């Protein structure tokens, strides 16, 4: 029986990854800060799928908590989903620098450490999948959020080439705007995100296509033809044009 560890599993894409992996028969290790929210997700999945669900509350910006998750990974999992993250205002100069540093550490340092912890057991076994939840923002200049997601994409592309021949695939899943509670956590109620209706994606579709591409061994997964086209077009335009276009929505 496969075991999947998912960070940021208490809501949004993380909870959807948990549901879909459980539906495929995987036992789960759910990681997030909110114990009560994790318990609610775990109870629902146990009732639906009958798989084993371990709850591991942890703030990945706390050194001791991060180390506990690393230790669990070192004991072996079949799938790691690095999903934990949060967004910031695009006005970098107005953001508190300590908050920017926390943002960088969670998206980059925590994902790097957890990947490093999971790899040895996967490589020894000769199989494993690592999914890094990035964003199409990683392909365009879009504040520090785009920068940290760009790191995840670049790292995943490199790691997939290096480790896929040894049985471990690494895939960056890069959605656009997704219907989750991500924007609410930024203080933006539904309908106030500044996003055209046609650009929204459903979490179920993002996760389904991401898992499919990970199973195919792809380095990068971009759900929906609309975002594939936008990423392709961004490579042909000037930085000024791309930045101005990317300023739409939060």
**Would you tell me how many other CB atoms lie within 10 Å of the CB of residue 82?**
31
10 Å CB burial of residue 96 (0-12, 13-18, 19+) is exposed
Distance CA 213, CA 207 (A): 10
The residues, ordered by sequence, that sit 6+ positions from 115 with a Cβ below 8 Å of its Cβ are 80, 82, 130, 132, 159, 170
Identify the DSSP state of 82. E
Identify the DSSP state of 7. E
Going from the C-alpha of 35 to that of each of 6, 9, 20, 27, 73, the distances in angstroms are: 14, 11, 21, 18, 19
Q: Does the annotation count 163 as an active-site position? A: no
- Residue 29: phi and psi, rounded to 5, are -125, 115
Q: How far is CA 97 from the centre of its chain?
A: 23
Q: Which of 7, 82, 134, 145 is catalytic?
A: 145
Distance CA 92, CA 167 (A): 40
Kind plus residue range of the DSSP H or E element containing 69: helix 63-74
Distance CA 247, CA 215 (A): 33
Contact criterion met (CB below 8 Å) for 129 and 135: no
Query: Which residue in this structure is represented by tokens 């392909």?
Result: 139
Give the residue numbers annotated as catalytic, written as ranges. Answer: 145
């Amino acid at each position: 029986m496969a075991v999947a560890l998912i960070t940021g599993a208490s809501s949004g894409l993380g909870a959807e990854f948990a549901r879909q992996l459980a539906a495929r028969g995987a036992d789960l290790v759910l990681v997030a800060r909110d114990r009560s929210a994790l318990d609610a997700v775990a109870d629902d999945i146990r009732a639906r799928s009958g798989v084993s669900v371990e709850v591991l509350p942890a703030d990945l910006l706390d050194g001791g908590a991060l180390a506990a998750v690393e230790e669990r990974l070192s004991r072996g999992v079949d799938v790691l989903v690095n999903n934990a993250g949060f967004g910031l205002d695009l006005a970098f100069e107005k953001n508190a620098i300590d908050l920017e540093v926390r943002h960088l550490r969670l998206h980059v340092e925590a994902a790097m450490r957890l990947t490093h912890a999971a790899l040895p057991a996967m490589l020894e076994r000769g199989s494993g999948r690592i999914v890094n939840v990035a964003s199409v923002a990683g392909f365009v200049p879009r504040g520090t959020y785009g920068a940290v997601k760009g790191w995840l994409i670049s790292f995943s592309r490199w790691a997939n080439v290096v480790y896929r021949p040894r049985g471990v695939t690494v895939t960056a899943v890069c959605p656009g705007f997704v219907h989750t509670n991500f924007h609410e956590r930024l203080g933006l109620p539904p309908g106030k995100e500044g996003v055209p209706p046609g650009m929204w994606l459903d979490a179920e579709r993002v996760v389904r296509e991401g898992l499919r591409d990970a199973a195919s061994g792809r380095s990068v997964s971009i759900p929906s033809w609309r975002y594939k086209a936008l990423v392709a077009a961004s490579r042909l335009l000037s930085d000024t044009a791309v930045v101005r276009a990317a300023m739409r929505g939060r």
